[in-house]
Structure 1
Amino acid sequence: MRVVLDQEKCVASGQCVVAAEDVFDQRDEDGIAVLLDAQPPAALAGDVRQAAAVCPALAITVQDD
């Protein structure tokens, strides 16, 4: 699994962090999401897919290897 985050699309809602805190964080200055792990372990796949699904800006893409 590979995760891509388009920070230009991000609206700083924080939903990705709530869904997958081991994979996403937010910048302190503006709340824009930050990708912590572009290739998270399989155990986090469900959380990452949930984060992509709840992102209001559709800024997260999940690609299967």
Structure 2
Amino acid sequence: MSCHHNNIFDDTTFEFPRTGFWLVHIFGACFFLLLGMRLAVRRAPLPIIAYRLFKLLR
């Protein structure tokens, strides 16, 4: 015997996102961060240090 509860959020856009959703957003945020660091390198010394730090971490 199983107990099934109807959830009004099942199969809607309000349902908790799956792993793929989070992966896309995490990689997208990293991409924009690195892209922004590349563009900021020409303008200020502090982003140069941060850019080099992120480059070393990869």
Normalised to the residue count of structure 2, the TM-score between the two structures is: 0.27
Which of structures 1 and 2 has the bigger CA Rg? 2
Which structure has more relative contact order (CA 8 Å, sep 6+)? It is 1
Choose between structure 1 and 2: higher helix proportion: 2
TM-score (norm 1): 0.25
Q: Which has the higher strand share?
A: 1
